[in-house]
Amino acid sequence: MPNTCFNPKELQDLFDEAEVLMKKIEIVYDDKYFAPASNELRYAFRHYLKYQTENSEEDYVKAKNHILRAIYDAKEFIITTFLERIKDFEKEYRSVAITAVITDWIGIRKKLNETNKLLSESKELKENPSVFNKIHDDLSDIVKTIDAAIPELDKMRKNDFLTKFIPIAIAIISILCSLFIASNASENCPKNSDLPAKQIEE
């Protein structure tokens, strides 16, 4: 009989969290089989069965750790995707005044720099799930912010293009019209060979 000192409900709650994240990866990021997390859950299930049948404290701990690792892998994937999304956004709208729409963009950039620093300290993140969760939540908020700003930024970019393009287009049309008029005037002027001999002599 399993050791009652351990709480299967704890494993169930962790498994539910991992499942929600993997479902998000499947639906939002179109990855129907996220191998790292799927493998961790498979290992967790194996150890949980051993815990149930052999009353093994070690297998309970291993099952829990594998589920935690699945959660970590899933969040790491989502965080990486968030960072790529933000990088693509900055590249796409580099010619637009982002701060005109996202007024706290400088503060967001500062937070991104801090996040990248924390992510480079992967050992600390594994030992401090709360830090990892905060990074995940902060980046999720940033992605929601930029997604909400995109329609307005697109309008700004379109207006900027028209503002710059229309004067150039008018200038080009004016030049072409001037050249056309000058060309027609030149063609309509009589040449010496077309004048009567008397007019040429004069």
Report yes or no on 28 lying in a domain.
yes
Query: For the chain, how many residues are written?
Result: 202
Report yes or no on 5 lying in a domain.
yes
> Sign of the CA dihedral 160, 162, 165, 167?
negative
Report yes or no on 106 lying in a domain.
no
Q: Which two tokens stand for residue 18?
A: 């991992």
Weakest mean pLDDT among 39-48, 71-80, 84-93? 71-80
Report yes or no on 194 lying in a domain.
no
Which comes out higher in pLDDT, residue 132 or 148? 148
Report yes or no on 172 lying in a domain.
no
Q: Print the domain residue range for 68.
A: 1-74
Report yes or no on 44 lying in a domain.
yes
Report yes or no on 49 lying in a domain.
yes
Q: What band does 88 get if pLDDT is binned at 50, 70 and 90?
A: very high
What pTM was computed for the model? Answer: 0.65
Task: Please state the domain count of the chain.
Answer: 1
Dist. CA 68–CA 51, nearest whole Å: 17
Report yes or no on 111 lying in a domain.
no
